[in-house]
Amino acid sequence: MSTDTIDATFAALADPTRRAILARLALRELSVTELAAPFAISQPAVSKHLKVLERAGLVTRGRDAQRRPVRLAAQPLREVTQWLEVYRRFWAESFDRLDGLLEDLQPPHRQEEH
């Protein structure tokens, strides 16, 4: 996995409007007009966000000259998710062990509450 990809993906995901755009594209492809509609920002502003997402490889634009539908591209998201999954596993497994330790350390009367 390239760290350039992760870099671009994280930068693209750092913005709440872009995350909202991706969330909507996860359901279906949309035109720029359709994408701009629920946001309190102009179409050019949405286009600017789309350029960032496109550079990060998170979305692709369709060939239809009129509409140029925007589609979600899943691969870079998958790479970031995969990294987070490794990170999550480190801490999830550590914390599960900590649960056991904390139970061992507490006086028995506390455990009766279970």
Q: Six-digit token pair at 8?
A: 């671009």
Distance of CA 34 to the CA centre of its chain: 21
Cβ at position 80, least distance to other proteins in Å:
8
List beta partners, residue 61: 70
Helix axes 3-13, 43-55, angle to 10 degrees: 160
DSSP assignment letter at 112: T
* Contact stretch for other proteins (CB under 8 A) within 28-36, 43-51, 59-67, 80-88: 80-88
* Contact stretch for other proteins (CB under 8 A) within 25-33, 36-44, 62-70, 78-86: 78-86
Give contact residues for other proteins (rule: CB under 8 A): 1, 3, 6-7, 10-11, 13-14, 82-84, 86-95, 97-103, 105-106, 113
